[in-house]
Amino acid sequence: MGGGLSSNKKPKTPPKAMAPVGLQSSQVSSNKVTTDTPIKIHDLKLYLTMFKDESLELSHANSSDFVGTLTANKLPPLKTVPTEVYILCHIKELNLSCNELSTLDPAIVNLEQLVKLDLSQNRLSILPDEICQLNCLSSLIVSENELGALPEGLGNLKQLKQIVAFKNGMTTLPDSIGGCISLEEINFYNNKLTELGPGFPDLENLVEMNVAGNALSSIDPIPKLTRLKRCAAYFNKLKSFPSLDHCTELTQIQIYRNQLKELPAMNNLVNLTELDANTNVLRALPDSLCTNKNLRMLNLRKNRLLLLPSAIGNLISLEILNVGGNPISSPLPLELTILSSLTSLLLDDSNITLLPLDLVKLTSLVRVDVGNRVDKTDKATASVMDKLELICTNNKGWLKQT
């Protein structure tokens, strides 16, 4: 497949995107509470009765980068939270990840100083409404459970900055989520979301947004999300995407593997460095795309593009251009040949037969695929091919025709 830049297989875990959601991010291992010296526990009840620290970790994790206290002490995974935990009103961090919890007692409300709660990798199908009374809560991690929804009172959590809830079964977000005025990161990768709900556009402090791997067909306008830096909405059923003109802090947009017929408006996003919109049904590129002069990676593979606009020459920082798998025909725009920073140019599986002579000015090229329809009997094209191969070889790369 000519070296596509994004996998077309649905990843098992959310990429650190975004690299997801944090959005970076929201990987469970980065949220574990660790200690320098292993804790030795002979009697868990006694240990909890005597517990004085602010961070309590009762995880049964067992991975290369983190081994939980329960695992280290050869204790079984928790099926219920010990009642002694609920009277530790002084704790600020609670990690109960990688256990076998199916319920959480409403007594969680007693932990009124709790700032961080990690319930990831359990068997929870519902969260008690009392969680929404934890007014100090800043981080809620509930990934890899069986949740069908978050509590409707979630909007009461005014200090909440992070929700990590990937790999659950949610179909929508609580209407009240707009009340989470401090929210900066959401990760709902690989749920069953068909909508984001009316409160989502009010998350004006959102920085990282990962709603990839769901069943979204549209997203409402998001004019208030002016702080957004990373947006992951790939692997959905999106037929349209709201304007991003106002998201001036955006650095990364991942909207591949959808059903988009056109790209969203994105004028003068001066911080944008990566746009991945491969495997959609795009027929043309908007002029607004070519105003983003700091864009370094553009992946438009497997769309329905018939040509590249001459304005593509404005993308002076572009290093990677992947337009393979499109029915693009010759001639290529001459403006393409002024992209001096280009290192990867993928034109495979296209209808291109002739190559412009000035293409050899791109002396930074490392990886080039010109496709298998290039006419080698054309002397100018054959000469360009020879020179491109030499450039790529000198740069320790390759020239292909696939």
Give me the CATH number covering residue 374: 3.80.10.10
pLDDT of residue 11: 53
pLDDT of residue 14: 52
CA angle, 159 as apex, 157 and 160 as ends, to 5°?
70
Distance separating alpha carbons of residues 99 and 105, to the nearest angstrom? 15
Q: Which two tokens stand for residue 300?
A: 């438009």
Q: Is residue 380 part of a domain?
A: yes
Q: Is residue 394 part of a domain?
A: yes
Strand pairing report for 320-322 and 162-164: unpaired
Q: Is residue 14 part of a domain?
A: no
Range of the domain at 388: 305-402
Q: Is residue 325 part of a domain?
A: yes
Q: Is residue 107 part of a domain?
A: no
- 361 burial (CB, 10 Å; 0-12 / 13-18 / 19+) is middle
CA 82 to chain centre: 35
pTM of the model: 0.90
Q: Are 148 and 170 within 8 A, CB to CB?
A: yes
Q: Is residue 358 part of a domain?
A: yes
Q: Which two tokens stand for residue 401?
A: 């025709």
pLDDT of residue 39: 75
pLDDT of residue 36: 54
End-to-end CA distance of the chain: 8
pLDDT of residue 40: 87
Pick out the chain residues at pLDDT < 50. Answer: 1-7, 15-35
Distance separating alpha carbons of residues 331 and 328, to the nearest angstrom? 9
**Based on the structure, what is the number of domains in the chain?**
1
Q: Is residue 177 part of a domain?
A: no
Q: Is residue 26 part of a domain?
A: no
